[in-house]
Structure 1
Amino acid sequence: MKKRVHLSNICVGMYIEELEDSSRNGFDKRRLLITSQAELRAILASNAMSAIIDTAKGKDVCEAADPSWELIRARFEAELESSFHAGEIRQARECIESTRPMIRQMLSSAHRDGSFDFDGAHGIVEAVMSDALESAGALIAMTKLKDRDEGTFLHCLAVSALMIAFGRSLGLGEEAIRDLGLGGLVHDIGKATVPHTILNKSGKLSPAEFALVRQHPARGAALLRGACDLPQTVLDVCLYHHEKLDGTGYPFGLREDAIPLAARIAAICDVYDAMVTIRPYKRGWSQAQTVEMMLTSRGHFDRDLLKRFVSQLVVKGSLQ
């Protein structure tokens, strides 16, 4: 049986009889059994609006989950390929793969015995700083897609890269930028001291569990202080990144200029990444939706810094 479906409903295993190509204002006879993610990405990246599928030769649309993680990943890859050059994507992938074991080891050590490998963390930041010179946008974009196993690792990497890119846009010196990148990398390290059963709980947290999670900034700062002599900027990011300008944040309810500059930068980068993140159980917000939400969240962010983040990174296209 043949049927016409919107392109958003296609998946691996479908047999394509024709694609509706908007640039030609008609159908393109491109018969194909989609057998790989690469073939799916190529179709999603085309100008087609809809497709004719043959359910006798491949999957029916009803067999595809809505939305399937497979399809979400394929769309994501197609968007990356249309937004960045192949060299930028390759460099970003290499940075992610090279830092993955180091970040996992850093988090594992913090969880296991409360230790912190400063040299390893410094090496991660150096790698991100090097890549962020040329492909900050690609690296940050690539970290948006986070599955359950990669979420924590990629969030650490994304916030570090965002803070490095933002620091450069603010005209800060390389040493200050390095400290921001390190702070972004370890901002949530205190969560490694919170039981996984609480962090990964699917239902609502109890008041006691919620209170324990809110202790992660102080726990993280204590872990870092005990492990090595770190720059104050790094400790500030870890301890104060959940503070809000109106005093409703935690753990101390600080207001306005009482919140260190680095922590105000971290608050913007942390929330931005959390909102645009795409997960198997959550559609990511678009960049426009995220920016609008952040700009209308009165009392949360430093307004001047947020406007500079939007104008210098979002509007100029550094972030996709």
Structure 2
Amino acid sequence: MLKKIPAGAVRLGMYVHAFEGSWLSHPFWKNKFIIDDEDDLQRLRQSGLTGVWIDTSKGVDAVDPAVVLSTPASTPPPEAPTAPVEARCSARDELQRAARVLNRSKKAITELFNEARLGNAINVESCLPLVAEINDSLARNSSALIGLARLKHKDEYTYMHSVAVCALMVSLARQLGLDGATVREAGLAGLLHDVGKMVMPADVLNKPGALSDAEFAVMRSHPERGHALLLAAGSIPASALDVCLHHHEKYDGSGYPYRLQGEAISLFARMGAVCDVYDAITSNRPYKKAWNPAESLARMAQWTGHFDTQVFHAFVRSVGIYPLGSLVRLESGRLGVVIDQHPEKLTEPLVRVFFSAKAKTPIQQLDLDLSRRGANDRIVGREDPAQWGFGNLDDFWR
């Protein structure tokens, strides 16, 4: 039987069927589970939720009948917004689902940003299911959706960049060990961080060449313009407002708009700075071609003072030292493309070898799991696809 009780009345052994309150309030990704951990119990009691629906047929009942707030006969319990997260799978198995998530996200974020362009208030509630779907995809495989989100067309960059940064923020927040509610806030902040670009002049935003000083000054106003839009919308979490305003600040104080330095920049904004830059430089844009993912990480590591070092190192762990689509050279002299990651062995991904660097000729394709015991090869370095004339590396894993 389903019963709604106060969050403070929940005890160990109860089966949670659903939560009541803001989607961002509770600290769990799951919506249906048994409370069997004391830490989870304390987090739930302190969450600020207005109520919790329990299923007494699957867990412990309320001790005191007087605490029961409602039953389905009087008020139906809310439906969980997402299905239970499935077990981890391969990148190949997740690609189709990730593509569907991205297609839905593109449609939703386009509509959302167009409303902002027209001066209408942003409906933050419409963003929350997107963050949940993105998180679920990353939980099944952390590489598939992030890899696909990188492959955006130039004319959709502004919209899909926000979706990609959302995914990168969720992945990074989980790598940092942040709790469920905080991870959701990070994803929402990533989704909304560039909303200020919706009020930038289209000829400046989409200019195929270098910006003039005057045009660059206009573009540099987008964090403040976006912050104003979100502030006017109301009910936007402070973390999303902060990332929107400060994702172009640099750790050494040379960023904009306020030249904040070090830990004067919030953790979320430091995370947003890394995620924003990585997606920007690994994507095709109106004025530049994308850089290879592994090359991008190597370049970012050399930008002294740009990023919080600890946050950047966590980001590398979240996307992999050799992200999906990276061209690598093996000790055997073969070249291959990274087609999946090992979650614990970042230097030992799954590689599809296809070319002999020694003979400079294609070879029969072979999938090589470098993490398996007995693997007789290893990565000795990354390679630049342009120098080898490879223009279709992403076809190896899509």
2:68 — aligned with what?
Answer: none
Matches of 1:135 and 1:245 in 2, distance apart?
A: 31
The offset of 1:312, in angstroms, is: 4.3
2:296 — aligned with what?
Answer: 290
Matches of 2:262 and 2:296 in 1, distance apart?
A: 22
1:91·1:135 contact (CA, 8 Å) conserved in 2?
no
2:316 — aligned with what?
Answer: 310
Matches of 1:262 and 1:192 in 2, distance apart?
A: 22
Give the TM-score taking structure 2 as reference length: 0.57
Find 1:243's aligned residue among 244, 249, 255: 249
2:279 — aligned with what?
Answer: 273
The offset of 1:240, in angstroms, is: 0.4
1:92 — aligned with what?
Answer: 98
2:265 — aligned with what?
Answer: 259
Q: Secondary structure at the match of 1:113?
A: coil
Matches of 1:136 and 1:155 in 2, distance apart?
A: 17
The offset of 1:114, in angstroms, is: 4.4
The verdict on how the C-alpha distance between 1:126 and 1:202 changes in structure 2, with shifts beyond 3 A counting, is: same
Q: Secondary structure at the match of 2:127?
A: helix
Matches of 1:179 and 1:151 in 2, distance apart?
A: 23
Matches of 1:170 and 1:203 in 2, distance apart?
A: 37
Matches of 1:222 and 1:114 in 2, distance apart?
A: 12
1:56 — aligned with what?
Answer: none
The offset of 1:281, in angstroms, is: 6.5
TM-align CA RMSD: 2.1
Matches of 2:142 and 2:318 in 1, distance apart?
A: 13
* Residue 143 (str. 1) matches residue 152 (str. 2): no
What one-letter code is carried by the residue in structure 2 that aligns with 1:236?
D
1:173 — aligned with what?
Answer: 179
What one-letter code is carried by the residue in structure 2 that aligns with 1:238?
C
Say which is worse superposed, 251-260 or 112-121, in terms of deviation: 112-121
The verdict on how the C-alpha distance between 1:291 and 1:228 changes in structure 2, with shifts beyond 3 A counting, is: same
Unaligned runs of 5+ in 1: 1-82
Q: Secondary structure at the match of 1:149?
A: helix
1:184 — aligned with what?
Answer: 190
1:145·1:279 contact (CA, 8 Å) conserved in 2?
no
The offset of 1:86, in angstroms, is: 3.6
1:217 — aligned with what?
Answer: 223
Identity %: 39
Matches of 2:209 and 2:288 in 1, distance apart?
A: 15
Give the TM-score taking structure 1 as reference length: 0.70
Q: Which has the greater radius of gyration?
A: 2
- Higher RCO, 1 vs 2 (CA within 8 Å, ≥6 residues apart): 1
The offset of 1:287, in angstroms, is: 2.2
The verdict on how the C-alpha distance between 1:312 and 1:85 changes in structure 2, with shifts beyond 3 A counting, is: closer
The offset of 1:251, in angstroms, is: 0.3
1:114·1:193 contact (CA, 8 Å) conserved in 2?
no
2:11 — aligned with what?
Answer: none
* Residue 108 (str. 1) matches residue 114 (str. 2): yes
| Aligned ranges 1:61-72 → 2 under 5 Å | none
The offset of 1:152, in angstroms, is: 1.5
Matches of 1:159 and 1:294 in 2, distance apart?
A: 16
1:103-162 residue CA offsets vs partner (Å, 9 max, x unmatched):
110110111114211111122212212222113310010011121222122111110001
Unaligned runs of 5+ in 2: 1-88, 323-340, 350-398
1:34-65 residue CA offsets vs partner (Å, 9 max, x unmatched):
xxxxxxxxxxxxxxxxxxxxxxxxxxxxxxxx
Matches of 2:190 and 2:249 in 1, distance apart?
A: 15
Matches of 1:85 and 1:176 in 2, distance apart?
A: 26
Matches of 2:213 and 2:288 in 1, distance apart?
A: 24
Matches of 1:195 and 1:279 in 2, distance apart?
A: 17
Matches of 1:205 and 1:271 in 2, distance apart?
A: 18
* Residue 233 (str. 1) matches residue 239 (str. 2): yes
1:219-264 residue CA offsets vs partner (Å, 9 max, x unmatched):
1111101102221111111010000011110000000011000000
Q: Which has the higher helix share?
A: 1
Matches of 2:142 and 2:314 in 1, distance apart?
A: 17
2:332 — aligned with what?
Answer: none
What one-letter code is carried by the residue in structure 2 that aligns with 1:186?
L
The offset of 1:204, in angstroms, is: 3.2
The offset of 1:85, in angstroms, is: 4.2
1:136·1:161 contact (CA, 8 Å) conserved in 2?
no
1:156·1:187 contact (CA, 8 Å) conserved in 2?
yes
The verdict on how the C-alpha distance between 1:312 and 1:186 changes in structure 2, with shifts beyond 3 A counting, is: closer
The verdict on how the C-alpha distance between 1:251 and 1:281 changes in structure 2, with shifts beyond 3 A counting, is: closer
Find 2:128's aligned residue among 110, 122, 126: 122
1:199 — aligned with what?
Answer: 205
Q: Secondary structure at the match of 2:155?
A: coil
Aligned pair count? 238
